[in-house]
C-alpha cells in the first residue's frame, strides 16, 4: 500500500512538472502553422461540447422571415465573411492563415444547417477559445446574433435576394486625399 501511495504522489508531481517543462521549453507548438499540441483537439472539443449542452438555448420562437434572414446576411457580410467566407468564393487570406482553419459556412463541409440554432447563437455570442472565433456579445445585439444564427441554419437554401446580399462587393475606389496647396511665394 505504501508503494502505491508513493507512486500516486510521484504521478501527481511528475505529470504537472513534465507538462510545465514542456511548455517552458519552447517546443510546444504555438504558431498557427504548427500542428496541434498533444490532446489539444480532444480537450478543446470535449470542453466546448459540454458547455454547449449545458448553456446553449434549447428553444427560440423567432422564425426565419425574409427580413430577418436579410438582416442576418448583412450582419454576416460585415462581421463574419472575412473568416467564414461567402457563397461560391475561395477562403480569404485571413481564413487561410488561421489555426484551426475556420469553417467555410457556405460549403457543404462547413455548413452548420444541422446544428440547433441555439448552438450557433451561443457560438456567435460567446466565441470559442483557442479557435480565433470572437464573441460578438459586446458588439452585436441579441437580435442581430439570432438573425445571423438563423441565416446559418438556412444556409443550404438561400434565396436570390440573400445571395445578392452575400455576394462579394467590388472594392470602392480609393478616396482622393486633398492636400493643402502651398501658398505661392511672394517676391
Structural class in CATH, domain 64-165: mainly alpha
pLDDT of residue 74: 98
The pTM of this model reads 0.78
Place of cell 434572414: 69
pLDDT tens across 10-21, in order?
Answer: 888 888 888 889
Percent of the chain at pLDDT > 70 equals 89
pLDDT band per the 50, 70, 90 thresholds, residue 179: low
Question: Is the distance from CB of 149 to CB of 121 less than 8 angstroms?
Answer: yes
Domain ranges of the chain: 64-165
pLDDT tens across 68-115, in order?
Answer: 999 999 999 999 999 999 999 999 999 999 989 999 999 999 999 999
Q: Where are the alpha helices (DSSP H) in the chain?
A: 2-24, 40-55, 66-79, 81-84, 93-96, 117-126, 142-153, 160-165
Q: List, in order, residues 6 or more apart from 159 with CB less than 8 Å away.
A: 66, 69
Look at residue 181 and tell me whether its pLDDT is greater than 60.
Answer: no
Give mean pLDDT, residues 33-43.
Answer: 84
Q: Tell me the pLDDT of the chain averaged across its residues.
A: 89
Amino acid at each position: 500500500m505504501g508503494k502505491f501511495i508513493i507512486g500516486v504522489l510521484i504521478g501527481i508531481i511528475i505529470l504537472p512538472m513534465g507538462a510545465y517543462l514542456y511548455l517552458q521549453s519552447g517546443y510546444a507548438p504555438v504558431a498557427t502553422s504548427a500542428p496541434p499540441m498533444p490532446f489539444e483537439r480532444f480537450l478543446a472539443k470535449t470542453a466546448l461540447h459540454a458547455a454547449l449542452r449545458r448553456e446553449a438555448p434549447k428553444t427560440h420562437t423567432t422564425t426565419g422571415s425574409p427580413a430577418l434572414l436579410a438582416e442576418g446576411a448583412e450582419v454576416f457580410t460585415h462581421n463574419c465573411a472575412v473568416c467564414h467566407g461567402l457563397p461560391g468564393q475561395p477562403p480569404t487570406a485571413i481564413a487561410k492563415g488561421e489555426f484551426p482553419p475556420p469553417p467555410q459556412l457556405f460549403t457543404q463541409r462547413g455548413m452548420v444547417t444541422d446544428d440547433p440554432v441555439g448552438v450557433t447563437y451561443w457560438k456567435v455570442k460567446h466565441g470559442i477559445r483557442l479557435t480565433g472565433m470572437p464573441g460578438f456579445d459586446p458588439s452585436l445585439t441579441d437580435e442581430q446574433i439570432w438573425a445571423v444564427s438563423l441565416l446559418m441554419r438556412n444556409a443550404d437554401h438561400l434565396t436570390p435576394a440573400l445571395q445578392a446580399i452575400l455576394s462579394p462587393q467590388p472594392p470602392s475606389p480609393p478616396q482622393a486625399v486633398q492636400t493643402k496647396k502651398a501658398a505661392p511665394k511672394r517676391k
